[in-house]
Structure 1
Amino acid sequence: MKNKGTGMIWLLVIVIIALVYLGVHREVSSEPGEKVIANQPVVQSQQPVAQNQQQVSRNTPQPLKEEQPFTGNGVTAIGDSVMVGVEPYLKELLPDATVNGKESRQMVQAQKLITELETNGKLGDYIIIELGTNGPFNKKQLRNILTTLSGAKQVLLVTARVPKGWQDTVNTTIKDVAREFNNAKVVDWYAASEGKSDYFYKDGVHLKPEGSRYYASLLLEALEK
Structure 2
Amino acid sequence: MKKKNNRFMNSLKSLGSALLVIAILIASYGIYHAPTSDASQLEAELEKNEQELAREEATPAGFPSKTPAGTTATQTAAATGTPDISQSSLSVIGDSVFLGAAPAFKKLYKNAVIDAKVSRQVVQALDIAKNLDKKGKLGDTVIIALGTNGNFNSATGQKLIDYLGPDRTIYWIDAYGRDLPSAKDVNNTIRRVAEANNNVHVIAWSKEGPKHPDWFYQDGIHLNITGQKKFAKFVRKNMITE
Matched with 2:136 is 121
Q: Which residue of 2 aligns with 1:139?
A: 154
Counterpart mapping for 1:72-221 below 5 A: 73-162=88-177, 163-221=179-237
Offset of residue 224 of structure 1: 1.9
1:173, distance to aligned residue in structure 2 (A): 0.5
**Compared with structure 1, are the counterparts of its residues 221 and 195 closer, same or farther at alpha carbon in structure 2 (3 Å cutoff)?**
closer
Rate the CA distance shift 1:72–1:80 in 2: closer, same or farther, 3 A. farther
1:55-94 C-alpha deviation (Å, 9 max, x unpaired): xxxxxxxxxxxxxx95575000110111111100000000
State how far apart, in whole Å, the 2-side matches of 1:87 and 1:166 are: 24
Which structure has more relative contact order (CA 8 Å, sep 6+)? It is 2
Structure 1: distance between partners of 2:121 and 2:132: 17
- Shift, 1:192, TM fit: 1.1
The secondary structure found in structure 2 opposite 1:141 is helix
Larger Rg belongs to: 1
Deviations 1:137-161 (A, max 9, x none): 1111001111111234310011111
What is the CA–CA distance in structure 1 between the aligned matches of 2:87 and 2:204, rounded to whole Å? 21
Take 1:212 and 1:140, find their aligned partners in 2: how far apart are those partners? 31
Work out the number of aligned pairs and report it. 157
Q: For 2:168 and 2:224, how far apart are their aligned partners in 1?
A: 31
For 1:150, the aligned partner's letter is: G
Whole-angstrom CA distance in 2 between matches of 1:72 and 1:202? 37
How far is 1:210 from its partner? 1.1
Alpha-carbon distance between aligned partners in 2 of 1:139 and 1:104, rounded to the nearest angstrom: 20
1:219: how far off? 1.6
The alpha-carbon deviation at position 217 of structure 1 amounts to 0.8
Gaps spanning 5+ residues in structure 2: where? 1-83
Aligned equivalents of 2:111 and 2:190: distance in 1?
27
Distance 1:193 1:83, change over 3 A: same
The answer to whether the Cα contact below 8 Å between 1:137 and 1:170 also exists between their aligned partners in 2 is: yes
TM-score, structure 2 as length reference:
0.62
Q: Identity of paired residues, percent?
A: 34
The Cα shift of 1:223 comes to 2.4
Q: Which residue of 2 aligns with 1:24?
A: none
Q: Distance in 1 between matches of 2:125 and 2:213?
A: 29
Which blocks of at least 5 consecutive residues in structure 1 are unaligned? 1-68
Letter in 2 for 1:176: R
Equivalent residue, structure 2, for 1:3: none
CA deviations 1:161-198 (Å, max 9, x no partner) are: 12232110001111111011110000000101122110
CA RMSD of aligned residues (A): 1.5
Q: 2:200, 2:85 → 1: CA distance?
A: 20
- The amino acid that maps onto 2:153 is N
Aligned-partner Cα distance in 1 for 2:123–2:139: 20
